[in-house]
């Protein structure tokens, strides 16, 4: 197995394939995606995130309701021991609010992830533009 980028490691919890969606000028909200691999032998629970580029961050889940896609904040995401959980378009994601500047391809920003049961992890996430609309 080849991981494109292992960007953080702490007590068995690793984050791979993390990126922040590029932000066009004038927008102040974006999303971040990643895969969380809980290689430890205890459950961790993602309960929050923060980044210096955002005034606040939330964990969101997408839900289908009557054929329409909507997203809602969730209080936490359980990461069972030994399992990987993907945050990807159409599923779980981190929302970043209150961005001051546009985000361009090639830039990298730190995002801190807060857990219950595991120490916090600081991830350096590259910016990746998404050319097509999010799949629903
Ligand atoms: Cu969202």
* 49 Cα: distance to centroid of ligand 1 (angstroms): 13
As a whole number of angstroms, the distance between CA 90 and CA 101 comes to 25
The CA distance from 12 to 40, in Å, is 5
Residue 135: pLDDT over 90: no
The whole-angstrom distance between residue 5's C-alpha and the CA centroid of its chain comes to 14
Q: Tell me how far the alpha carbon of residue 122 lies from the centroid of ligand 1, in angstroms.
A: 21
Tokens in use for 73?
């904040």
Distance (Å, rounded) from C-alpha 130 to C-alpha 64?
22
Mean pLDDT of the chain: 88
Residue 98's pLDDT is 96
Quote the ligand 1 centre to 31 CA distance (angstroms).
7
What the chain holds in terms of domains, given with CATH numbers, is 6-127 (2.60.40.1890)
Contact (Cβ atoms closer than 8 angstroms) between residue 22 and residue 105: yes
How many angstroms separate the CA atoms of 103 and 18, rounded? 15
């Amino acid at each position: 197995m080849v991981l494109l980028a292992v960007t953080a490691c702490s007590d068995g919890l690793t984050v791979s394939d993390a990126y922040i969606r590029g932000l066009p000028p004038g927008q102040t909200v974006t999303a971040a995606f990643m895969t969380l691999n809980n290689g430890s032998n205890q459950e961790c629970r993602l309960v929050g995130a923060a980044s210096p580029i955002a005034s606040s961050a939330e964990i969101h889940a997408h839900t289908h309701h009557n054929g329409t896609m909507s997203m809602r904040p969730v209080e936490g995401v359980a990461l069972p021991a030994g399992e990987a959980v993907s945050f990807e378009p159409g599923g779980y994601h981190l929302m970043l609010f209150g961005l001051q500047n546009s985000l361009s391809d090639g830039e990298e920003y730190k995002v801190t992830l807060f857990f219950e049961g595991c120490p916090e992890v600081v991830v350096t996430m590259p910016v990746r533009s998404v050319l097509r609309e999010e799949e629903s």
